[in-house]
Structure 1
Amino acid sequence: MSDLTPNHTAGEPLEAIDKDKLASLRQKNIDNPEGGKKVIKTHTEADGHFRNYTQVRDLKPVLVSEPPALLGDDSAPNPTEIAQAGLAACISVGIQAIATHRGVTLTKIDIDIESNIDVSPVWGVGDLNDEKRPGVSDVQVNVDVDGDADRETLEKIVDDAIQWSPVVNTYTRPANLTHKLV
């Protein structure tokens, strides 16, 4: 058992998702694709010193901050790290769903992500020019998956999870973003 995953014992099958409920959800969205379109809402409030609390559904608020090198107090992951964690989690969910759908039992999903970011524009108060690209530019995703299938099958599961991940698609085909002062 890992400190990171206290509910999973290495080499044992991951706790399964309900295959029948997955099939039902799949069919519901095939029969009514418009029903799968949802609105995701969050609310964020600044707490000072670059600490921000975000409310998601009725869950405990999520703290997002900055490290000391970026003038924060190191109390939580920064926004880019949270985005990267969301990316990894979305890929992991896809891998588990696809494996379940295909009858593959997984014993391990480990995802490591490294990305390059240019923070030199300093949130718009530094020097800005056309060569500076705020945000991540290159993202490397390394997936380590084990289960009761051969490598080719596992690779296809991972490839399909990457292709259909909503967060991967947000990174690779950015959403239209609008804003307004209210």
Structure 2
Amino acid sequence: MSDLTPNHTAGEPIEPIDTQALKDLAQKNIDNPEGGNKKIRTHTEADGLFRNNTAVRDHVIKVGEPKPLLGDDSAPNPTEVAQAGLAACIAVGVQAIAQHRGVTLTKLDIDIESDIDISPTWGVGDLSEDKRPGVSDVRVKLDLEGDADRETLDQIQKDAIKWSPVVNTYTRPANLTSELV
């Protein structure tokens, strides 16, 4: 057990999701693919010094900036939160695919490292035409253990990457519009 995983003891099976509920959800989306199209809504309010609080359903996500980026280091920054979402989405996919394939996982750790160019400084820094603000390269490393061979675990992680909504958002960006209201 670690501070990050208070519900899991090392070497023990990771608490599984309900297999029948997973099958039912999968079948529902096979039978009605259009029913899988949903809206995600969030509401963010600025709280000063780059602190922002975002309401997501009944949860609040705090986002800020570290001191070198003029924040108070009270919360992860937006890119770190996006990377955490990426890791969590991959983890959900790995767990669902493993469960569906009858594999019991005892370890699922994900480390992500990415490269980012912050020199445009939110549109007030180096604004050269060759600049691409944001993450350019992302390296994901998964440490999986369970009752399957390495080849099976590798295929599970590859399939989780392929079907992750957040991975696909990183690799096939969404259309984005903005408007002043």
TM-score by length of 2: 0.99
Partner Cα separation in structure 2 for residue 126 and residue 62 of structure 1: 28
Q: CA deviation at 1:127?
A: 2.2
Pairwise mapping of residues 66-105 of structure 1 onto structure 2 (< 5 A)?
66-105=65-104
Pairwise mapping of residues 1-150 of structure 1 onto structure 2 (< 5 A)?
1-59=1-59, 61-150=60-149
Partner SS state of residue 48, structure 1: coil
Partner Cα separation in structure 1 for residue 117 and residue 134 of structure 2: 6
Q: 1:96-134 deviations in whole A, cap 9, x for unaligned?
A: 000000000000110000000001100001120122110
Partner Cα separation in structure 1 for residue 135 and residue 86 of structure 2: 13
Q: CA deviation at 1:3?
A: 1.1
Partner SS state of residue 116, structure 1: strand
Q: CA deviation at 1:23?
A: 0.1
Amino acid at match of 2:5: T
Partner Cα separation in structure 2 for residue 18 and residue 6 of structure 1: 20
Q: CA deviation at 1:165?
A: 0.2
Note the residue ranges of structure 1 that are not aligned, 5 or more in a row: none
Partner SS state of residue 47, structure 2: strand
Aligned length: 181
Partner Cα separation in structure 2 for residue 27 and residue 57 of structure 1: 26
Amino acid at match of 1:174: P
- % of aligned pairs identical? 76
Taking only aligned residues, the RMSD between alpha carbons, in angstroms, comes to 0.5
TM-score by length of 1: 0.99
What's the counterpart of residue 175 of structure 2? 176
Q: 1:43-98 deviations in whole A, cap 9, x for unaligned?
A: 00000000000000012x11100000100000000000000000000000000000
Note the residue ranges of structure 2 that are not aligned, 5 or more in a row: none
Amino acid at match of 2:105: L
Partner Cα separation in structure 1 for residue 129 and residue 66 of structure 2: 27
Flag as ranges the 4+ runs of structure 1 deviating above 3 A: none
Partner Cα separation in structure 2 for residue 43 and residue 181 of structure 1: 15
